[in-house]
């Protein structure tokens, strides 16, 4: 029962107390600002993470064009991280700080959440810099703005259906919860990548370091908010959580079409359509371990998990087994082929 929910106040205090030492805005601002390290011969994005990397239609693409595809894939990644910070994480943290939801009004929580807000703005900055450095490095005249992700579009579609402000606020909180608690699998995978430019893996390493703290903090924040929710609010929370989880694993290859189109690759429709039909690019689960812990602690697992890939142990194991090493975890968090989290 929710009455049994306990808040780990020690964890929140530890997260907040460590921030001055741990936060990458403090420890790594000079590195991010200084001239980026560049390694000849390394790409901007791992080839194996392109869903069409072994498609016959992509095999004949000349090396320069292939590199451009990888560069644009990295740009989309960064654009999506920024959009998730600006449209998902920050609005929800700001609502919490404004006291829209009771439960985290004490200084301990407010301190830690405000720190996370600072971090998120810094992450936007880091990824903005990453795009510009890439543009300079590759000599691109301009950076295309790629389509919004399905995760983001679903949030706005769902918001538009809700007549009351409190319902829309709660929906924002739910989307941010999934984002904050689940991002690290993908960030960590890219951060350890040896194929891509070191400055790119550095950005994801730094972001992942901050998010490790945010993920733990967010679980405690949401538990505390949930305790204080009315029955109606709890019902809305429980009903929208599966929608958010589905939105994070939904498929949408529109960005890949745009990437290949911008790079001038022929037969884009055929390549992308084949990927959409290919079961190994199917509705892949992401790593929802943090969410699983949260919903178990809130005692709402059964209401949330049904039909959600990633929360059903059998489905998750089967999906991973079909994928080669490394790709599994990455694709788990791609959903539409790109990570989309803050």
Distance CA 209, CA 24 (A): 8
Distance CA 203, CA 187 (A): 9
Least separation in angstroms between CB 120 and Fe ion: 5
Q: Which of residues 210 and 336 has its CB atom nearest to Fe ion in the complex?
A: 210
Q: Which of residues 89 and 260 has its CB atom nearest to Fe ion in the complex?
A: 89
Q: What is the DSSP string of 8-72?
A: -HHHHHHHHHHHHHH-HHHHSHHHHHSPPP--TT-BSS-GGGSTTTT-HHHHTS-HHHHHHHHHH
Helix (H, G, I), strand (E, B) or coil at 196: strand
Q: Which of residues 148 and 214 has its CB atom nearest to Fe ion in the complex?
A: 214
Here the tokens at position 171 are 């929906």
Least separation in angstroms between CB 162 and Fe ion: 24
Distance CA 95, CA 168 (A): 11
Which residues would be at the binding site for Fe ion (CB under 5 A)?
A: 120, 123, 180, 211, 214, 342
Q: Which of residues 61 and 183 has its CB atom nearest to Fe ion in the complex?
A: 183
Distance CA 147, CA 79 (A): 10
Least separation in angstroms between CB 175 and Fe ion: 13
DSSP-assigned beta bridge partners for residue 43: 196
Q: Which of residues 204 and 281 has its CB atom nearest to Fe ion in the complex?
A: 204
Distance CA 305, CA 140 (A): 44
Q: Which of residues 123 and 262 has its CB atom nearest to Fe ion in the complex?
A: 123
Least separation in angstroms between CB 221 and Fe ion: 11
Least separation in angstroms between CB 216 and Fe ion: 11
Q: Which of residues 44 and 180 has its CB atom nearest to Fe ion in the complex?
A: 180
Least separation in angstroms between CB 291 and Fe ion: 14
Helix (H, G, I), strand (E, B) or coil at 95: helix
Least separation in angstroms between CB 119 and Fe ion: 6
Strands (E) located in the chain = none
């Amino acid at each position: 029962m929710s009455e049994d929910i306990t808040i780990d106040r020690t964890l929140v205090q530890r997260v907040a107390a460590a921030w001055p030492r741990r936060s990458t805005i403090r420890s790594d601002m000079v590195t991010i600002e200084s001239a980026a390290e560049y390694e000849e011969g390394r790409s901007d994005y791992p080839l194996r993470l392109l869903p069409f990397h072994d498609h016959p239609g992509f095999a004949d693409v000349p090396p320069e064009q292939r590199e451009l595809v990888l560069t644009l894939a990295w740009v989309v990644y960064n654009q999506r991280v920024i959009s998730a910070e600006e449209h998902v994480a920050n609005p929800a943290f700001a609502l919490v700080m404004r006291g829209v939801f009771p439960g985290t009004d004490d200084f301990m929580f407010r301190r830690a959440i405000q720190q996370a807000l600072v971090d998120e703005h810094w992450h936007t900055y880091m990824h903005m810099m990453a795009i510009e450095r890439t543009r300079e490095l590759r000599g691109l005249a301009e950076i295309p703005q790629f389509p919004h992700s399905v995760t983001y579009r679903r949030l706005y579609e769902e918001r538009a259906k809700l007549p009351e402000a409190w319902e829309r606020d709660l929906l924002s909180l739910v989307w941010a919860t999934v984002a904050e608690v689940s991002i690290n699998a993908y960030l960590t995978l890219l951060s350890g990548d040896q194929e891509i430019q070191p400055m790119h893996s550095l950005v994801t390493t730094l972001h992942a370091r901050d998010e490790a703290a945010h993920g733990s903090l967010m679980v405690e924040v949401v538990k505390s908010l949930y305790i204080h929710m009315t029955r109606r609010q709890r019902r809305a929370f429980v009903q929208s959580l599966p929608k958010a989880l589905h939105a994070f694993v939904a498929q949408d290859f529109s960005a890949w079409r745009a990437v290949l189109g911008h790079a001038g690759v022929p037969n884009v429709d055929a390549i992308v359509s084949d990927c959409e039909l290919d079961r190994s690019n199917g509705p892949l689960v992401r790593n929802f371990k943090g969410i699983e812990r949260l919903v178990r602690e809130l005692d709402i697992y059964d209401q949330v998990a049904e039909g959600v890939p990633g929360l059903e142990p059998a489905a998750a194991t089967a999906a991973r087994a079909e994928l080669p090493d490394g790709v599994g975890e990455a694709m788990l968090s791609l959903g539409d082929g790109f990570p989309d989290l803050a």
